[in-house]
Amino acid sequence: MLVSAKEMLDKAKAGHYAVGQFNINNLEWTKAILLTAQELNSPVILGVSEGAGKYMTGFKTVAAMVKAMDEELGITVPVALHLDHGSYEGCYKCIKAGFTSIMFDGSHYPFEENLAKSTELVNVAHGLGLSIECEVGSIGGEEDGVVGMGECADPNECKTIADLGVDMLAAGIGNIHGKYPENWQGLSFETLDAIQQKTGAMPLVLHGGTGIPSDMIKKAIELGVSKINVNTECQLSFADATRKYIEAGKDLEGKGFDPRKLLAPGTDAIKATVKEKMELFGSVGKA
Ligand code: G3H
Ligand code: ZN
């Protein structure tokens, strides 16, 4: 059931668990995530970066695919179709295409400009019943061309953006996109705590969910994180399972080269990763 992310995140915040955002890249990815959410009776957010949207032909194609798949698979758990790290223009394209949720990532702008653009987009999104995520501070590393310096967010700036009525706030707290380097200092729980004190009931978002140790994930949820984004980890498990299938020569046996067989181990690996994360985040049975 396609919905905005507002209700599922407010419930997660109140219930002290987090909803996973899993990024999609194609039909297999989308189907694996939707089926796992349904099987575990968990709410879920499908994230679409601008790069992935382009790869899948465009946001209209993505929205049409997700809507049709949601219906034909008989998905009854809440599913939000969410633009990930959207530009100002990208937000308008996704609103037009029929997404149910958007993220405006204005973290690279001077704060006043981020605030002005976020204000406008919050009003537009809410006027149309969509949920909206904004970002303060930045997430380190790179994801689909979005590069961040990784500076921790200023809790006062977080409050100013939260006061616009955003549905969820992404705040840099030392988190990084992609694999974490060996010398990573860990999440700044001090910053997270200060942000949570200032922003109250508003759901906080933890980006860069790949490879964060379980105890840090649990502590982040205790301190108000209600949405956790995972992308790279599904890509790694898909690639690993596909490589094993090919290295074992299975693509050469029988009709193993048929894409429906060739892509199956990778798709199953995505399902296993999503299941593991939903269990860790505590969203199982919360639909
Ligand atoms: O916006 C998406 C994410 O923050 C995913 O990060 O690729 O490190 O899991 P990740
Ligand atoms: Zn991110």
84 carries an active-site annotation: yes
- What is the model's pLDDT at position 53? 98
Q: CB of 209 closer than 6 A to ligand 1? A: yes
Mean pLDDT for back-to-back runs of 10 residues, the chain (287 residues): 98 98 98 98 98 98 98 98 98 98 96 97 98 91 76 94 97 94 93 97 97 97 98 98 98 96 98 98 98
pLDDT for the residue 220: 98
Kindly name the residue from 70, 84, 154, 167 that is annotated as catalytic.
84
- Domains of the chain: residue spans and CATH: 6-281 (3.20.20.70)
HEC secondary structure over 73-113: CCCCCCEEEEEECECHHHHHHHHHHCCCEEEECCCCCCHHH
Ligand 1 centroid – CA 229 distance (Å): 5
pLDDT in the model for residue 259: 97
Say if CB 4 and CB 100 are below 8 A apart. Answer: yes
Q: Which pLDDT belongs to residue 61?
A: 98
- Contact predicate 285/264, CB 8 Å: no
Give, using CA atoms, the residue closest to atom 6 of ligand 1: 208
pTM here? 0.97
Query: Which pLDDT score is estimated for 269?
Result: 98
* 208 CA → ligand 1 middle, Å: 4
Q: Which of 138, 173, 231, 236 has the most ligand 1 atoms within 8 A of CB, as the residue to mutate? A: 231
Angle separating helix axes 27-40 and 264-281, nearest 10 degrees? 40
Residue 197, SS3 per DSSP? helix
229 lines ligand 1 (CB under 6 A): yes
Ligand nearest to the CA of 232: 1
Query: Tokens 């219906």 label which residue?
Result: 71
pLDDT of residue 149: 76
ipTM above 0.85, yes or no: yes
